[in-house]
Chains A and B, each alone.
Chain A
Amino acid sequence: MSAPQAPVAPARGITPALQRRLFLVGALLVAGGALSAVAFGDLGESLVYFWDPTQMAAAGEDAVGATIRLGGVVKAGSVEWQQDRGSLKFIVSDGKTEVAVEATGAPPQMFREGIGVVVEGTLTQSGVFASDRLMVKHSNEYKAPEGDMSADERKELYSTVEGL
């Protein structure tokens, strides 16, 4: 089986077998190190897929004009279709801060009040977030249509986008 080892082993300190095992240990250390760097490092701060309204508000003037993804819940009663402009106005909220959003284009079918959304666009000087890409967030709950959901169930369904 390990025939090639015999002639080489006495000559050198590191046999091919030992070398392979050292490679294994090294690779495991590097992989484990990379994994823990990602898990315990501060990478989370630099890997923000979207801002919540509070964070965007905190950025103040700096947020104006930059391309931003903003995520939150569509505030109940805030959805307004602007026929003349072909755009959709609504308020995105994280429970603390609210941002008025004007999105162009047809929204995904699942869009409605109370659902989590992520909008891509820019904050204008007027304080309205102009979005050209509206995405709807689905929770990890998969439910069969069993009559009407109660308000509580609905709230629970979208809890994943709250407390961001």
Chain B
Amino acid sequence: MGSEGAAADRLLSWDRVSLVIGLLLLIVGHYQGLFVAPAEAMMGDVGRILYVHVPTAWACMLVYTACFVFAGLALWSGKGKWDAAMEASAEVGVLYNALLLIQGSLWARPTWGVFWTWDPRLTTSAIVLVLFVGVLVLRRVITEPERRLNLGSIAAVLAYAGVPIVYFSVKWWRTLHQPFSSPATVSDSFITPLRLAAFGMIFLGIGLIGLRWRALRREVERELSAPALPAALPTLELGQRGPGGAA
């Protein structure tokens, strides 16, 4: 974590290791879910979407939680590394959230009979996706690095308020979506592929965040440490003189 730029190019960095572990777990979990585990009693083979949808949902919530924590650290410390970590995890959260909605509607059509309905769980998930897309857009729009850190992180903290609402939506309101799944409600033969895929999505998420973090951190830290006002010239020169020069 505390390692500096030099460590970034080590072959065995924590994000690469996590990425590979995640991909392997996900492949094994999905293979088991698709070809080894029995079909679901009522949903038949369509029930196998469980092994991709539920892990995505769990991992998505963890990624958003990480984003929330990074946003808090960024505001507390003002450090570029947390600012970059916030953006990296917001990106991965948006990816998982979008995948979640796609998987969900493909599962809903054969089971419920519709691709989409404005059920509280579905509606709140879509709202949270829009909010975090908003965080990313905000960061693109603001060019001044300190303002970007402040406003981006404030927006992320506010957007995160939606995440517990999504989680509890099936408890607080009537929904078409089923309530929480847990090992108690899932047949034993489904649990292994479900766990493998869930850890797969989580490790993959950590890896993807790390990968994006590395890239974003270089830019964000450089911008934040650059002299504020018109003195952007020296850094510009430095950048242009850099190796290659081709962006």
Are A and B associated in one complex?
Answer: yes
Binding site for B on A (CB under 8 A): 1-2, 4, 16-17, 19-21, 23-24, 26-28, 30-32, 34-35, 38-39, 44, 47-50, 71, 107-111, 118, 133-146, 149, 160, 164
Binds A, one of B71-79, B91-99, B136-144, B203-211: B71-79
A44–B172 Cα gap in the complex (Å)?
7
B228, CB-defined interface residue at 8 Å: yes
Tell whether, in the assembled complex, residue B78 and residue A16 are in contact, meaning their CB atoms are under 8 Å apart: yes
Inter-chain contacts of A4 with B (CB < 8 A): 228
A26–B155 Cα gap in the complex (Å)?
11
Tell whether, in the assembled complex, residue A160 and residue B179 are in contact, meaning their CB atoms are under 8 Å apart: yes
Inter-chain contacts of B150 with A (CB < 8 A): 19-20, 23
CB distance from B161 to the nearest CB of A (A): 4
A19–B75 Cα gap in the complex (Å)?
9
Given contacts A44-B173, A144-B41, contact A34 B113 (CB under 8 A): no
Supply 23 A–B pairs (Cβ within 8 Å), ascending by A. Answer: A20-B78, A23-B150, A27-B158, A28-B157, A34-B158, A34-B161, A39-B172, A47-B120, A49-B120, A49-B174, A49-B175, A111-B113, A135-B114, A135-B176, A136-B111, A136-B112, A140-B179, A140-B180, A142-B185, A142-B186, A142-B187, A143-B41, A143-B42
CB distance from A1 to the nearest CB of B (A): 8
Most buried by B among A2, A27, A44, A109: A27
What are the interface flags for B163-184 relative to A under an 8 Å C-beta threshold, 1 for contact and 0 otherwise? 0110010001111101111100
B110, CB-defined interface residue at 8 Å: yes
Tell whether, in the assembled complex, residue B119 and residue A143 are in contact, meaning their CB atoms are under 8 Å apart: no
Tell whether, in the assembled complex, residue A138 and residue B78 are in contact, meaning their CB atoms are under 8 Å apart: no
Least CB separation from B44: chain A residue: A109
Assuming A118-B176, A143-B40, what are 15 further A-B pairs, CB within 8 angstroms?
A17-B78, A49-B176, A71-B176, A134-B113, A137-B112, A138-B111, A140-B182, A142-B47, A142-B186, A142-B190, A144-B37, A144-B40, A144-B41, A146-B187, A160-B179
By Cβ-Cβ distance, the 8 closest A-B pairs, closest first, are A108-B113, A24-B75, A31-B161, A140-B178, A27-B157, A143-B41, A144-B187, A145-B41
Tell whether, in the assembled complex, residue B161 and residue A35 are in contact, meaning their CB atoms are under 8 Å apart: yes
Tell whether, in the assembled complex, residue A108 and residue B174 are in contact, meaning their CB atoms are under 8 Å apart: no
CB distance from A93 to the nearest CB of B (A): 16
A50–B72 Cα gap in the complex (Å)?
38
Tell whether, in the assembled complex, residue B173 and residue A144 are in contact, meaning their CB atoms are under 8 Å apart: no
Least CB separation from B228: chain A residue: A4
Binding site for A on B (CB under 8 A): 37-43, 47, 50, 72, 75-76, 78-79, 110-114, 117-120, 146, 149-150, 153-154, 157-158, 160-161, 164-165, 168, 172-176, 178-182, 185-190, 228
CB distance from A29 to the nearest CB of B (A): 10
Least CB separation from A153: chain B residue: B41
Inter-chain contacts of A31 with B (CB < 8 A): 157-158, 160-161
CB distance from B136 to the nearest CB of A (A): 17
Tell whether, in the assembled complex, residue A145 and residue B173 are in contact, meaning their CB atoms are under 8 Å apart: no
Tell whether, in the assembled complex, residue B158 and residue A30 are in contact, meaning their CB atoms are under 8 Å apart: yes
A140–B53 Cα gap in the complex (Å)?
13
Given contacts A20-B150, A21-B75, A47-B120, contact A143 B187 (CB under 8 A): yes
Tell whether, in the assembled complex, residue A49 and residue B112 are in contact, meaning their CB atoms are under 8 Å apart: no
A71–B117 Cα gap in the complex (Å)?
14
A134–B114 Cα gap in the complex (Å)?
9
A52–B155 Cα gap in the complex (Å)?
38
B178: which of A24, A71, A118, A139 is its contact (CB, 8 Å)?
Answer: A139
Tell whether, in the assembled complex, residue A136 and residue B161 are in contact, meaning their CB atoms are under 8 Å apart: no
B113: which of A44, A135, A144, A164 is its contact (CB, 8 Å)?
Answer: A135
